[in-house]
Structure 1
Amino acid sequence: MFNTSKFSFKIFFTVFLGFSLLFCVSSWISYSLLQNIITKRLDDSLVKTIGGIRQMVETSADLAARNYLRSLAEHSLNVAQEIEAQAAAGQISEEAAKQEVMQRLSDIKIGKSGYIYIVTSEGTLEAHPHQSLQGTNIIDQDFIKSQSVLKQGYIEYEWANPGEEEPREKLLYMEYFEPWDWIISASAYGDELGLLVEASDYRKLVLSINIGEHGYPFLMNTYGEVLIHPFLSGDINLLPVRQKEVLEQIIASRNGKIFYDDFEGDALIAKKKIAVYETIESYGWIVVGSAFLHDFYQPLELLKRLLVALLCVGFVISGLVSLYLSRSITLPIKGLLQTLSEESVPLDNGDVAPESSSEIEELTFYFNNYIEQIKSQHLALQKLIEEQGQVVLDLNIFKEVFDNIAEGISITDTQGTIQAVNPAFETITGYSRSEAIGQNPRILKSEKHAEDFYALMWRDLEANGYWTGEIWNKRKNGEIYPEWLTISAVKNKEGVVCNYAAVFKDITELTRQKEKISFLAYHDHLTKLPNRLMISERIREALSESRRHNSTLICLVLDIDDFKTINDTIGHEKGDILLVRIIERIKPILRLEDVFGRVGSDDFVILAKSDPGQPGQVEPLIDRLFSAFTTPFSLDDHVFYITLSIGVTMYPGDGETDDKILSNAMLALNNAEKIKGNSYCFYNRTMEEEVAKKVKYLAKIREGLNQHEFIAYYQPKISLAEGTLVGIEALARWKTEDGLVSPAEFIPIAEESRLIVEMSWQIYERAFGDCQKLIERGNPLHVSVNISPYQLQSESFMADFLKVQEASGLARENIDLEITESALHENIDHVIMLLERIAEAGFSLSIDDFGTGYSSLGYLKNLPFSTLKIDRSFISGIDVDPDDEQIVRTVILLAKQFDMNIVAEGIETHRQINFLNAYGCDQGQGFYYGKPMDFNELLAWIDSHTEN
């Protein structure tokens, strides 16, 4: 078939040998790699299967154990409720009832070492199997703190009883018995959970899973007992030696896999098996998956046979390919030799082609002939190259400019086909040179411009020879971007357009900066919401649309209650974070067409449109807003419960301009803010009248301050035990030409406008002077004056107060400063420091209206108050409301614990005096003794009281 000296035979033999070696080596490598991959995947599959079974069993067991603990805790709670009911019925004493409950619960055992224990919300152990722990307080334990807060549910923790060296993992379920403040907990140790559940409950679950064709999973414990198995059960020591040894090996290592011999069915020859196993430590269970290797690794046998078949086919293909390659290579060579022999140019020395058995030798001769010819042609080419050198130099200069210019450049023919692009074009558009050449510039079209835009561009280009302007194009990745484009027509020597050159610059960043400046002009920089300027514009647009369509426009102005206090507490940086989270709660409530903007520090506007005749969506919208804040906000270690105040205006009806709509909504908001705590108010015309009235009233108050019309009235303070006068309280009164003005009319306005500060200084001067006169008259009294919250926030208050006191000559021990609870809520650190300075200076301090606000025992503990005043609202309930009586008794007892003087306000009956005396109240004031009176009336009252 082949002449072995011929080139074709050498090719065939070499290629066939190479292919054969390649097939053999690649088959061996492929089999080795695939064997490892398949083996690993099969092993991983078995491990995952066992892991899944283990997880299912463990999850089910955990649930069963938890339910068991829960049932014990609920049973214990029922026992406590049953016995407490007997105590409540008077059948047994409460103490005996508690002992009975603890005795019955102590009999309950959970697993091997688990038990029931009882702890209070304060962390005191009421009942525990270890007597040494009963009565101790362990609130410092983290899990006890959690119990104190949660009072019901599951907790996982670690615990060591007395005598135990290391803590162990535990699980508990707790129920709260409120009448005795008991948290009843059923607890079990993590390593004893297996005693709480029955493994047989999972038999159907485990055996329902198949592993391969003949494999199966089974479950055993670490103590050597088969719990779930298709045909084995009981103690492994009773099993045949072969099976016992395998199971003992599994127990010893607990996790992993082993290979062993076993019989398949009735077979007489043992076959290899694999077992993969994992241990559920908390239950002492081992989940095992077992399968025969020949069954499990059957894909490997199939792979081996497949590769042998492929190897045989490969040899056949190698022979055919080698034959084909040898013929396909040598046939062209033979044809080439024939052509060369026919067309060869004779050399000068007259050499002719040699006769040879090898095609290569013949080719060598002819190639040498051609090399000589090429040398002669090379000399001619060298001259041509020198001539073209200058041309190339010029072209290189233009190429450097073309390649390195920052602007993108594309050159097209007259039909718009791209012929050349520079690197900047590739960078800007994302299209490579090869992708762009041959395409039309329309590949960059963004569809952002109408066809008229491009028609006008080409008219200008044809008329002027160029076009320049801003255009939006599209990059390869689909991104639309702005560019500054100049297109110029390129003409040849005859003046005919032969090309078009486009030069463009990406102006994305410039456009972005313009948009950012425009955005900042109309949006709030923190929240990115529309600002007041844009809101006004949106209101004008909405008003115009509402007039056209006869629809309703709703404007809500929202204020976050007490947000200034929050800012003062956590700082403005974190306050901004909280503000953004609040906005994120509001946004999902609104419709896409609604407008939401920020018009102040914590003031926001919502504009919503309603269909004609359907303005009733205001209340549902407000309800959704309020509902959005039922869940508190958590920020660092702080928890904030946010409430809103909302003012509402509507068009038509509440204004015709954007200014009026917004300002009237603000008026409605002011009314809502007086209530606070998720309140809202609709605008009505009386609000403007009230504002006008308030402005007029403020002018009168200022005039009254200038005319010193604000004077002090005094109400006596009486010792309840002795009936003697011990002090007076100075109260502000406004005496005009028309008579006295009720404090209820001017005090709120004065506080809101902060004129209360100037008014207070006038009252202090008068009160201190009058009290000094009484002392000089022989009446050693002390005078109480009220301090407004605004005065407590002033840095100069202490110095100003001392000036007034020193000018009056009244001793500091005769002056008592009364502060209401509400004054303590803002800037508390500053207030505490100021009150401590006041007390150190020798003045006494009273906390007024105690119990009417969010009373904090911390005030009594941490602040230097010497007197506590019980509000008149509780005193009036004596002999009327048992709850008020209980509050009064509790407050008196509380004040006594802090060694404080107690003053009851608003006493009007003798029965109230008897009640207060009985529980140790020190002093009282009210209409029973005397109404507030001016100084002359007070002198007469003192004389009359002394005589009586």
Structure 2
Amino acid sequence: MKKLPLLFKSLSIHYRLLWAYSLTFLFILGLAGFVIYSVVRTTIERNIEKELENSTRTILNMVKTAIDASIRNHLRAIAENNRDIINDLYNKANNQLMSHRDAKNRAKQILLSQSIGKSGYIYCIDHRGIIKVHPKDELIGTDLSKNDFIKVQKIKKIGYIEYDWANPGEEGKRAKALYMTYFAPWDWIISVSSYRDEFKELLSTEDFKQNILSITFGKTGYPYIIDSQGLLVIHPKLSGTNIFNSKDENGRMFIQEICERKNGKIIYPWKNPDEIKAREKLVIFNYIPELDWIVASSSYLEEFYHPLTTIAYSIGATVLIMFTLIIPITWLVSSRLAKPLQEMITLFETGARSGFTHRLDVKWGGEMDEVAKNYNRFIGTLETTRQQLQKSHSELEKRVEERTEELSSWIRELEKRNSEDALLREMGEMIQVCNTSEEIYKVLKQYCNLFFPDTSGCLSIYKKSDTTLAPVVSWGDPDDRSTPFLSEECWALRKGKSYLVKAEEPSLICSHLKDAPNRDALCTPLMVREEVLGLLLIMVPPNASLSSGAGSRPILESKQSLAITISEHLALALVNIRLRENLKRQSILDPLTGLYNRRFLSDNLKREIHNMKRHNYSIGVLMIDVDHFKKFNDTYGHECGDAVLSELGRFLQDNIRRNDIACRYGGEEFVLILSRVQQDQVLAIAQKLCLSIRENLKVRWQNTTHTITVSIGASLCSPDQSAEGSLNNADHALYRAKTNGRDQVAWENESIELKAD
């Protein structure tokens, strides 16, 4: 190292300039290129793993949702089918076709003859948690109420639960699924249960295979699903193939490693049969224990690093060009400067002080004149070279600015995508906790203003009655709000995929956009399993910028992929909300009469009494019983009895006030909750209802018209009473009405007896 300064001093000036300029220039450009390359590479690597992790998590949630739905529906079908069988046996016993004891024994035989999965079974407990039916006879009569899941069964009686359980002889607990339904006449809670990992055969991969395979990463990246034995469950080309013993280019058993680890990520070299050399491949994977499946997302790293390769080539080309230019220029300048300095050092010192505007006089003659001429020419050449260098410097600065702006544009695009991904996750979390469609619409409006700034749009949903779509939420300019339209008026709905209308290009414009001509618009349908739920419409306002700022792409074209993703999330959320609302409605309505059931009555009466105590008002309770209902069943059959109950339910619904609530209490008993009434109002409503049923309610059955009468027990619930007390008072009054001859109204106070005439 100490010899380098001495060696440098021994060089002539033109060599010194050559080496100094060349090395300095290479160092500066190399350092700048290295910094740019490192920053971009770090950003890309972070985004690669985040994109694959998000996609893997999305697929994992999709499969788990399908598992939960399959298990729940399977167990529910078995439970409700067995309840219907028991009900049929119970009806036969009531019709004296067999004894009740024989009916119960037959029901037990049927229940115990069924197996659920590999080790699941059916058992029955009563409302106290005591076993009534069980595959093991020694457990009959055992009290299981100390178990947490039995406590839940005693409370719910009907529904689906999950819990961890280990049978005797098993080492650890496993997740268990149970669906129960209640058969009230025998006080049996019919329970169908089995371990969740025994329902693998219920799940059909066709339900979500296409959705999974439609996801891609880069040019050739894709997701796939394998089990722990290396069998490909879902794959774009090799579904059903076992790749457990597959090796990469280095002989590494990477599939076995994935199957053993079950969660994580690996990078391995891979070469397809038609490729010349191996490329690095990244795989991120997660495990689903119920199915023994591993969900994986994979792609070649070089496909994500393509922008980085472009940047590296650009930097390398720039360095090579500049280095090629600087060497001859430096060599020429140093050579022309060195020779005159060697022969006329003193004269050159004077000339150097005078600047480029002075010239040497040709007065020495001979070779000295040639030196003077050369000096003058050299000075002129220096001036020309300076101008050339200045011009080259300006061009270089311009090119550097262009490259910097291009790099900045790429970085802004990456930051924008990261921001959109974060907003998508945030919106997804908000949608998941929404309880109604209206809440989802509010969330959509808030985030559409963030996703699509400086645009207008709306979400239109199909009406239940026809094929018309009506807007449910909009954002942006109020004048851009859409009006109801038919599905045939939109090309996106016809094609079943996103449709972009460009104002600057001739294209077919949707009929429902006729009031917005010469404007860019994007129509994206909301679809779930080829069923269209609605349409997401986005429009660019007039005089708005047509550039998104990233590669001069139009706004809607750059947002089309984002709009499709949002519509997919939104469609799944709306389907889930509708399913949840239907299940809730089924859980509180009586299927025969269409009235609210006893469960809803209990919850609603408690809320009504709570409000009554806060606002200091009274409510009325009417308990209604169909007179001689058993005779209808015995004489005309249970179907005629069901027709009587159904007609009475419709009659009550049509003849009560809007704020009052009609419920089926059980059997032929009904309960009316009258809000904000006094005693005289309760009595008047009860008498009017009793009389109207007797005179106006007609039940047609098998070409015969029947009339019925009812007995009504009435009570007034004051703020100091409980829900149970009010129902008990009405029940006691009903008993007196039936004892006194039926077809009348009785008040909770025994001193008041009222005849409905």
TM-score normalized with structure 2 length: 0.42
Question: Which structure has the higher relative contact order (CA within 8 Å, separation 6+)?
Answer: 2
Bigger CA radius of gyration: 1
TM-score normalized with structure 1 length: 0.34
